[in-house]
Structure 1
Amino acid sequence: MFSQFESFMNRFFMPIAHKVDNQRHLSAIKAGMVAMTPFTILGSIFTIIPALPNMLGPKNAVSLFITSNADLFDLPVKLSIGMIGLYACLSIGMIGLYACLSIAYNLGNHYKLYIPGCVTLSGFAFLMMVATFTKTGQLDVTNLGARGLFTGMIVALLTVELYHWCKTHHLTLKMPDGVPDFVSRSFELIPVTLITGGAFIAGRFAFLNFAGELPPSILTRFLAPLVGSMDNPWAVLLLNFAICTVFFFGIHSSVFSPITSPIMVTFIAENIAAMNAGEAIPHFYTAGAVSSFFGFTGCGISIGCVVACMLSKSKRYRKIGKISLFPALFGINEPILFGAPIILNPIMFIPHVFGGAIIGTLPMFFMHWGWIAKPIFNPPYVGVFLEGFLTNGDYRTIFANALQLVLAVALYWPFFKVMERAELKLEAKKAAKKSIFSKEDEDTLAGLDLDF
C-alpha cells in the first residue's frame, strides 16, 4: 500500500512540485517575500520598545531616552501626522511597496534585465495603482502597507514582464558602442518607461471609471475567502498536513511559500497595527507562530524521534540522537530526517505526517481559543522555547512548547521501537560475523586461562 502511494507521489506530484518551485514568477514572489523578513522584525522590535518604560520604570536613563524620543521610536510602527499628511510606519506600513520592489528585482534578475529600471518602473506602477489622496490633497498611504501587498506582487510581475516584452521586441533605444553602459541603459528605458507608464496610467483610469475603486480594494474582497480561511485553525491544520506529506517525500515546504508568505506578512502587519491602536489582535497565523510551533525542532516535530534515539539500546541510533539534538533545538532536523531515517520510511509516516501536523498546529488552536496570546513579533530564530516566548511575550507559550515535546516523544516512541528491534537484530548479526569462533569455542578458550 505504501509503495503504491510512494510511486504515485513520485510519478505525479513530485514533477508538479518541482515545476512550481522552479517557476520564475513564483520563485520571484518567494524570494521577494523572504526579503521582507528584516522589515517585519524591525517593525516588531519597535513595537516592543515603547513598552520598555512600563517594564523598567519611568525614571531610569533608558526610559527617559525612549519617552523623550517617542516620535522617533514610533515612526517605524505607528501612523502619525506629518508635513505631507498621514505617513505610515516605515517598516510594516510600507510592506506593499517594499515587496513590489523586491519581487521586481528578483524577476528582473531572472531575465537579466537592467535592475534599476525594473525597480523604478515597478515602484511607479505600484504607486499609480494604489495611491489615493485626502480631501486636502495629501497622499494617503493606507494602500502602501499590507492592504496593497497583493497588488504590489501583481504589479511587479506585470511591470517586469512588460519590460521584458519590450526588450525582446526591440522596443528600446540602442546607443552607439562608445557610449558608457550606464548612459546606454538609461536611454534604453525611455520607450519602455513610456509604454509601461502609459499602460498603468490607462489602468488606473479604467479602474476608477469602470470599477469605481483601485485594485487594493478589489483584491481585498476577492481574496477575502483565501486570506480569511487562514484564521481558521482547521484550515491551517489541513495546510500543515499537506506540508508534512510533501516533506516526507523529500519535497521542501518552500513550494507553498508563494501562497503562505504574503498571507503571513499581511497578518503580522495587521497584528502590529491592532496592538498599536489598542485593539484586539486578530490573527494567529504569522511566520513567527509557524516557526515557533509548527516548526518546533523542525517539520514533523521530529524531536520525539531524537529523544527516542538518544534513549535507544542501539549504538547507531544513540549516535544519531546525539548528533541530531543540538541542530534540532534550532529547528534543523535534517540529521534525524536522513539519519534515522524518517524521510520515505513507512514506519515513520504516521508520526511525521499526522503527528507533525496535529502537534504542530495545536498551539495555534490555543491561540484561536484565547488560551495563549496571539503573535506580534517575528523573531529571528533563537532556539526552541525562547522563540515561542518572543513571538507574543506570553509565558504560556513555553508550556505549549513543552506539551508539544511530551506529545512528540509519546507519539514517536512506539514507532521508533519497531525500527529499533530491527536495528538491534542487524547489529547482533554484524557482531556475530566479526568473531571467527563460535560461542562454544570462545567459552573453551576462556576456560583454558591462557596468558600470552
Structure 2
Amino acid sequence: MSKQSGVNLQAMGILVSIIEQRMVPVANWLTRSQHVLALRDGFQLAMPFIIIGSLLVPFLYPPVLADSVHPLAQWLLAVSRLVSPLLYPVYAHTLGLISLIIAYGTAASLAKAYQLPERLSGLTGCLAFLMLIDFSSLQPGIFGYLGGLGIFTALCTAIYAIEVIRLFYRRGWCIHMPEEVPLMTRRGFQLIMPLLFIMLSLSLLKVWLQTQFDITLPQLMAELFRPLISGADTLPALLLALLVAHLLWFMGIHGALIITGVLSPFWMANLAANQAALVAGEPLPHIFLQGFWDYFLLIGGTGSTLPLVWMALRSRSRTLKSVGKLGLLPSLFNINEPILFGFPIIMNPLFFLPFIAVPLLNAILAWQLTQWGFLDRFVALLPWSVPAPLGAAWAANGSWHNLLMSLFCIFNSWMIYRPFFVIHEKMMLQQETEPATAE
C-alpha cells in the first residue's frame, strides 16, 4: 500500500469516527422518534392528493401571459378556460384540503404507534384542527388554512389530540363498557371523555386568542414559523441539508429519508405560497421546494449517480458492467441502491469526494441561476420517481429552462465522476485479472 493511500484511509477513518459519534446518534433518534415518523406518515398519506392537484396546475394556469397575442398562447388560454369548470373542483378538493388530510394521517400514525384506535384518533385530529379554523375568513379556492397555509397548525393539533387521548386512556379517565358491547361501540364510548376535553380546550384557546389578541391560532402559527420557513428557503440551509443527507448515506444510513421528513412541512408551505402567487399573477417567492431537490440534485438517486450507470455499461470490467445493467432501469426513476451498494459507493473512500461534491455544486449553480431569473421556480409536486428532466419541466409549469438545467446537472455530474470512475475501473480490472494470473 502506498503512503498516499495510507493517508487517505487514515483521513477516512477519522471522518467516519466523527460521523458515528456526532451524526449517527441524532439520525437514529430521528428514525425512531414516533412524532417524526407520524409527521412523515402524514405527508406520505397526503402525497397522492398533492400529486393529483399538482398535475392540473399547467392546465388551469398555463405558462403564458394573459394578454399575449401569440396564437399558441391564445389557444392554451382558451383550453384553460374550457377545462377549468371541470378541473378546478378537483384541484380545490385535493390541494385545497391538504392540511386536513395531513392532520388525519399524522394523528392516525401516532395513534398506531401508541396502540390507540387509528380511525377514531385520525378523525379526532381532523376535528381538533377544524376547531381552530375561522371559516368566515377563508377565501375562495385552495389558499385558506385548510390548504397549505394550515400545515403547521394541523401537525400541532393532531399531535396534541393524540397525546391527550393517550393520557386519558393511561389514567383510565374514560367511559368503560362491558365486553359484550361491540368493539366499535366500546371504543366510541371510551373516546367521549378525551374528545370532549380536546374540543373544549381548543375552543377555549380559540376564544382567548380572539378576544385578547384578535388573532387565530393558524395566524399565530404562521407568524411563529415564518422565520423558520424563510430560513429553510436559503442556499446555506439547502447545502446543509444536502451535506447531512449524503454524509449519512455514505455511512449506510438513509439520510435522504430523514432530511426529507424534516423538510416536508417547509416544502409544503413554500409550495402553497408559490401556487398562491401563481394564481394571483405575482412573482413566485420560494426556490427550495421538493422539485428542486428531486430533479436538480438527486438525479438517478442520492449523489446524482445516473452518469455512473452509463459509464458502467461501457466499462471493460465485468463486475461494473453487470452492476450497470442491474441499476439502469431503477436509476432512470431515481432509485440507485444497486449503484450505491454495487460499485460500491457507500464506505468507499475513492467516491467520497464526488458523492458529496456533485449535488453541492449542482445546488449552487441551480440556486444562483434561479435567483438571477434564468430558471423557473417550482409550482407543483410530482412523484420523486419521475425522470429528472421531465419532472423538472412539468413541476415548474412546463419550463424548458429547467429541463435544460436538469440535463446540464447530469453532464456536470458525469464530468466530476469520470476521473474517479476511471481509477475505480482500473482497480476492478486488476482484481478481476489477478485470480486468472494466479491460476
TM-score scaled by length of structure 2: 0.88
Deviation at 1:398, TM superposition (A): 2.3
Evaluate the alpha carbon distance shift between residue 52 and residue 371 of structure 1 in structure 2; reply closer, same or farther with a 3 A threshold.
closer
CA contact (8 A) 1:125 1:155 kept: yes
Give CA deviations for 1:71-102 in whole Å, capped at 9, x if unaligned.
3422344xxxxxxxxxxx32223222221111
Q: Hey, what does 2:386 align to over in structure 1?
A: 382
Ranges in structure 2 where 5+ consecutive residues have no aligned partner: 1-10, 65-70
What pairs up with 1:284-299 in 2 under 5 angstroms?
Answer: 284-299=287-302
Q: Hey, what does 2:263 align to over in structure 1?
A: 260
Amino acid at match of 2:20: N
Q: Does 1:414 align with 2:416?
A: no
Evaluate the alpha carbon distance shift between residue 245 and residue 53 of structure 1 in structure 2; reply closer, same or farther with a 3 A threshold.
closer
CA contact (8 A) 1:237 1:358 kept: no
Deviation at 1:58, TM superposition (A): 8.2
Deviation at 1:338, TM superposition (A): 0.6
CA contact (8 A) 1:132 1:141 kept: no
Percentage of identical aligned residues: 25
Ranges in structure 1 where 5+ consecutive residues have no aligned partner: 78-88, 435-452
CA contact (8 A) 1:40 1:269 kept: no
Q: Hey, what does 2:351 align to over in structure 1?
A: 348
Counterpart Cα distance in 2 of 1:206 and 1:258: 33
CA contact (8 A) 1:46 1:73 kept: yes
Deviation at 1:201, TM superposition (A): 1.8
Greater CA deviation, 46-55 or 15-24?
46-55
Greater CA deviation, 152-161 or 204-213?
204-213
What pairs up with 1:237-248 in 2 under 5 angstroms?
Answer: 237-248=239-250
Q: Hey, what does 2:89 align to over in structure 1?
A: 75
**Cα RMSD after superposing both structures:** 2.7
Q: Hey, what does 1:448 align to over in structure 2?
A: none
Q: Hey, what does 1:156 align to over in structure 2?
A: 158
Q: Which of the residues 36, 39, 43 maps onto 1:26?
A: 36
CA contact (8 A) 1:351 1:412 kept: yes
Q: Hey, what does 2:203 align to over in structure 1?
A: 201
Amino acid at match of 1:328: S
Greater CA deviation, 343-352 or 31-40?
31-40
Amino acid at match of 1:43: G
Deviation at 1:44, TM superposition (A): 1.6
Counterpart Cα distance in 2 of 1:258 and 1:386: 24
CA contact (8 A) 1:302 1:333 kept: yes
Q: Hey, what does 1:168 align to over in structure 2?
A: 170
Equivalent pairs, count = 418
Q: Which of the residues 130, 134, 155 maps onto 1:131?
A: 134
Counterpart Cα distance in 2 of 1:194 and 1:275: 41
Amino acid at match of 2:251: F
- Computing the radius of gyration over CA atoms, which structure comes out larger, 1 or 2? 1
Give CA deviations for 1:261-305 in whole Å, capped at 9, x if unaligned.
011111222222221222222222222222111121111111233
Amino acid at match of 1:21: T
CA contact (8 A) 1:93 1:146 kept: yes
Give CA deviations for 1:226-272 in whole Å, capped at 9, x if unaligned.
21123323431222122111111112121123320011111222222
